[in-house]
Structure 1
Amino acid sequence: MNRKQGGMTLTSFLMVLAVVGFALYVGMKLFPMYQEFYAVKTSMKALAREPGTSDPAKAQELFFKRMDMNYSDSVKRDNIKFDRIDGGVRMNVSYEVRRPLVGNLDIIGRFENSQDLTSHGE
């Protein structure tokens, strides 16, 4: 009886290793971008719970204090807009993050979030 050995060859193992390595490399570039976006969302939700943040100037100042504590530098003052709503304002944050990947290729992430800020902190 002739038995044939099964399994991966060295070449196929190296190809799988290269694909997994590249996926991990891309993941290492993407993770900080999404971690920063989570910090933006968390800061906006915490800001909404504070009373008296319906003033856009005060809300923006408190927001950037929180962002400084999180070492976030992608969100700039130009990325924040306020719209009037009943009982307060809606804070809209829209920004873009660009990170180099390989050579002249970049990874670009566009992030948007909005939060209602009312005078009674709900």
Structure 2
Amino acid sequence: MQSLQKQKGLTAISILVILIVAGFLVYVGIKIAPVYIDHYAIKSTLQTVKNEPLAARKSKRDIRDMITKRLYINNIRHVNRDHIKIERAGKTTKINVAYEERRHIAFNLAVVMTFAESVELSAN
């Protein structure tokens, strides 16, 4: 019974393992956090285009230029014109932005994140 009393707490090796796992998770978080911040900027860009008056009446090229200029101002370079799809159906215009982002973690390990956002503009 006395040996059970002495076995309290973590050993140095278990503390080291916990620190290594926590450090790896923090490292991965640091690698992928900027991607999600950029995605939030893309979502807000699409919302500003949606809230702009008479945006649905503009040509597809003008809408695409509006989006790419705003993305350039926000320093988002991985989303280009090829990722922006604009479709018209009657008085509605649908804007789709779909892209994939890869972040290298270590050796041959990488994280792949796919994003797709869309907004619908309606002509008044």
TM-score, normalization by structure 1: 0.90
* Distance (whole Å) between structure 2 residues aligned to residue 116 and residue 82 of structure 1: 10
How many residue pairs get aligned? The number is 120
Q: CA deviation at 1:15?
A: 0.2
Q: CA deviation at 1:86?
A: 3.8
Match of 2:99 in 1: 95
* Distance (whole Å) between structure 2 residues aligned to residue 37 and residue 82 of structure 1: 19
1:106 equivalent in alignment to 2:110? yes
* Distance (whole Å) between structure 2 residues aligned to residue 65 and residue 97 of structure 1: 20
Match of 2:21 in 1: 19
* Distance (whole Å) between structure 1 residues aligned to residue 112 and residue 67 of structure 2: 24
Q: CA deviation at 1:85?
A: 2.9
Match of 2:52 in 1: 50
Letter in 2 for 1:69: I
Match of 1:77 in 2: 81
Q: CA deviation at 1:17?
A: 0.2
The answer as to whether partners of 1:80 and 1:94 remain within 8 angstroms in 2 is yes
Letter in 2 for 1:46: T
* Distance (whole Å) between structure 2 residues aligned to residue 85 and residue 44 of structure 1: 19
* Distance (whole Å) between structure 2 residues aligned to residue 44 and residue 22 of structure 1: 34
* Distance (whole Å) between structure 2 residues aligned to residue 86 and residue 48 of structure 1: 17
Match of 1:68 in 2: 72
Identity over aligned pairs, percent: 35
* Distance (whole Å) between structure 1 residues aligned to residue 102 and residue 121 of structure 2: 29
Q: Superposition RMSD on alpha carbons, in Å?
A: 1.5
The answer as to whether partners of 1:74 and 1:96 remain within 8 angstroms in 2 is no
Letter in 1 for 2:6: K
